[in-house]
Amino acid sequence: MRTRPAASPPAASPPAASPPSRGDGTRARILVTAERLFALHGVAAVSNRQISEAAGQANNSVIAYHFGSRPDLMRAIVRPHNTDIEQRRIALLAATGEPATLTGWTACLVRPITDHFAALDRPSWYARFAAQANTDPALRNVITEEALATPSTQLTLREITLRVPALPPVVQRQRTDMTRLLVVHMCAELERALEDNTADTTWSQTADALITALTGLWTA
- 8: pLDDT strictly greater than 50: no
The pLDDT of residue 141: 87
The pLDDT of residue 32: 96
The helix (H) or strand (E) run that includes residue 42 is none
Per residue in 165-211, pLDDT (tens digit) is: 889 999 999 999 999 999 999 999 999 999 999 999 999 999 999 99
User: For 149, which DSSP code?
Assistant: T
DSSP code per residue over 86-114: HHHHHHHHHHH---SSHHHHHHHHHHHHH
Question: Residues near 4 by Cβ (< 8 Å), separated by ≥ 6?
Answer: none
Per residue in 145-170, pLDDT (tens digit) is: 888 889 999 999 999 999 998 899 99
Residue 217 · residue 178 · CB < 8 Å: yes
- Residue 209: phi and psi, rounded to 5, are -65, -40
More confident residue, 62 or 214: 214
How much of the chain exceeds pLDDT 70, in percent?
A: 90
